[in-house]
């Protein structure tokens, strides 16, 4: 029996597994998915979990509920090393062999070796990290009257890409509710979004970037252009274009300024760039036709990266990989190269507002927010079915806080 081993249950790995479960007809093939968590969670919604507007209970989709077909298994383990030459994968709990390997271990925050980032800044890299930030934010509001420290109501977001903008907007929208519940003047809440230039959301064209900036400022977010050169226990140090520096004092700093591939890739002595593996046109590790690399772990050169959101790209990689694996186990030759199909990119500015690109045109407001929700629901439907869309999906009115 041939064994397909999938490392990581994010958008790429899970889509690969569910594609195989739906379309693999060969019963003499086993498929094993390994993840350090029992569940998949949408990384595109971590900002809502961190703010407290989407529950972690709804976010979780358990792998064992999804992989029910004969010869399909899930193992909970943390991968520590990949030995390609010996076809062996080491985890904290066991070692695994494979005939075909899919590496989809996701991303890690990239601190660019800046002082204080690891020590003092929150990151939105996992569901548990989002929950830790959520508890921290709620505590700052609930206990404000005990300490009366103005810095408890000041929030600094480092990075003006998707995650930073969506978190700042979600927090700005929800701050009104938090202040009302805790008896705090909304004017005391300060949210600073720091980016390297005036052009936030650099993946969008200039006019959409400007619209997003105006929407954020209308919500009360202070958009700052400058380089964060140090994170401190009570704030950040920012460098201007003229090399002058100043500080913003805050007791909450969120780092969203960059990501890199899993450190397991680098620790396994695989050739990488920023902990990512350069793959061929079939998403294979060069020289190893039995090894595929997906998502944030891969650098695919033959693709259009304009407006390419990580989740959408990883999902398409996962489906493509699953279909290729079916061909390989059936003894067929791979002929069709991977090509990314851009189906729209949307950045939420709160639950009912957004900006984005769809069908080559810019969209804003509630139509963009509707498209954002549709994209999220389409993903849930694709891997977990209609009833999970009803239970866990995104709709016009919130169903959980």
- Same domain for 313 and 197, yes or no, is no
**Main-chain phi, psi angles of 282, to 5 degrees:** -105, 10
Q: Per the structure block, which two tokens stand in for 26?
A: 């060969």
Q: What three-state secondary structure class fits 33?
A: strand
Distances in whole angstroms, Cα of residue 142 to Cα of each of 53, 133, 147, 148, 361: 16, 14, 10, 11, 43
Catalytic residue numbers, as ranges: 166
For position 239, which CATH number holds?
A: 3.50.50.60
- Domain stops at, among 237, 255, 273: 255
CB 262 within 8 A of CB 108: yes
- Same domain for 331 and 395, yes or no, is no
Q: Torsion angle of alpha carbons 77, 78, 79, 80, nearest 10°? A: -130
Among residues 69, 67, 88, the alpha carbon closest in space to that of 79 is found at 88
Residues 164 and 215: their CA atoms lie apart, in Å, by 14
- Same domain for 397 and 304, yes or no, is no
- Same domain for 249 and 165, yes or no, is yes
Domain count, the chain: 3
- Same domain for 8 and 76, yes or no, is yes
For strands 227-232 and 235-239, give the pairing.
antiparallel
Q: Per the structure block, which two tokens stand in for 361?
A: 């045109």
- Same domain for 397 and 319, yes or no, is no
Burial class (CB in 10 A: 0-12, 13-18, 19+), 187: exposed
pLDDT tens string for the chain (401 positions)? Answer: 899 999 999 999 999 999 999 999 988 999 999 999 999 999 999 999 999 999 999 999 999 999 999 999 999 999 999 999 999 999 999 999 999 999 999 999 999 999 999 999 999 999 999 999 999 999 999 999 999 999 999 999 999 999 999 999 999 999 999 999 999 999 999 999 999 988 999 989 999 999 999 999 999 999 999 999 999 999 999 999 899 999 999 999 999 998 888 999 988 888 777 678 989 999 999 999 999 999 999 987 655 544 455 788 999 999 999 999 999 999 999 999 998 888 788 999 988 999 998 888 899 999 999 989 998 999 899 998 898 898 898 886 554 44
Question: What is the number of other CB atoms lying within 10 angstroms of the CB of residue 335?
Answer: 7
- Domain stops at, among 255, 282, 297: 255
320 contacts: CB under 8 Å, gap ≥ 6: 283, 338
Find the domain containing 99 and state its range: 2-109+259-342
- Same domain for 133 and 231, yes or no, is yes
CB 34 within 8 A of CB 14: no
How is 265-325 classified by DSSP, letter by letter? HHHTT---BTTBEEE-TTSEETTEEEEEE-GGGEEESSS--TT--HHHHHHHHHHHHHHHH
């Amino acid at each position: 029996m041939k064994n397909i081993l999938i490392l990581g249950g994010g958008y790429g790995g899970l889509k690969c597994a569910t594609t195989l479960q739906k379309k693999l007809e060969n019963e003499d093939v086993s498929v094993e998915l390994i993840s350090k968590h029992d569940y998949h969670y949408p990384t595109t919604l971590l900002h809502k979990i961190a703010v407290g507007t989407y529950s972690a209970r709804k976010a979780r989709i358990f792998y064992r509920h999804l992989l029910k077909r004969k010869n399909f298994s899930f193992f909970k383990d943390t991968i520590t090393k990949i030995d390609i030459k010996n076809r062996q994968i080491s985890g904290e709990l066991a070692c695994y062999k494979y005939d075909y390997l899919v590496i989809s271990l996701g991303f890690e925050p990239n601190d660019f070796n800046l002082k204080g980032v690891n020590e003092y800044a929150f990151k939105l890299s996992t569901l548990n990290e989002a929950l830790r930030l959520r508890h921290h934010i709620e505590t700052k509001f609930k206990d404000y009257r005990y300490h009366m420290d103005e810095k408890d109501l000041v929030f600094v977001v480092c990075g003006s890409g998707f995650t930073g903008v969506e978190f700042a907007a979600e927090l700005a929208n929800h701050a009104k509710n938090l202040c009302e519940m805790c008896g705090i003047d909304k004017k005391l809440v300060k949210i600073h979004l720091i980016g390297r230039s005036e052009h936030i959301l650099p993946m969008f064209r200039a006019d959409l970037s400007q619209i997003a900036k105006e929407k954020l400022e209308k919500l009360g977010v202070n958009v700052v252009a400058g380089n964060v050169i140090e994170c401190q226990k009570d704030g950040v140090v920012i460098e201007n274009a003229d090399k002058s520096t100043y500080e913003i004092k805050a007791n909450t700093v969120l780092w969203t300024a960059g990501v890199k591939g899993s450190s397991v890739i680098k620790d396994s002595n695989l050739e990488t760039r920023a902990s990512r593996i350069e793959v061929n046109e079939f998403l294979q590790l060069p020289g190893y036709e039995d090894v595929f690399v997906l998502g944030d772990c891969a650098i695919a050169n033959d693709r259009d990266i304009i407006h390419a959101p990580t989740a959408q790209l990883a999902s398409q990689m996962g489906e493509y990989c699953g279909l290729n694996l079916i061909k390989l186990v059936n003894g067929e030759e791979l002929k069709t190269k991977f090509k990314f199909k851009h189906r729209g990119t949307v950045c939420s500015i709160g639950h009912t507002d957004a900006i984005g690109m769809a069908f080559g045109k810019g969209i804003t407001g509630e139509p963009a927010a509707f498209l954002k929700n549709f994209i999220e629901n389409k993903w849930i439907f694709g891997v977990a079915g209609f009833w999970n869309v009803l239970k866990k999906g995104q709709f016009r009115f919130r169903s959980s806080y």
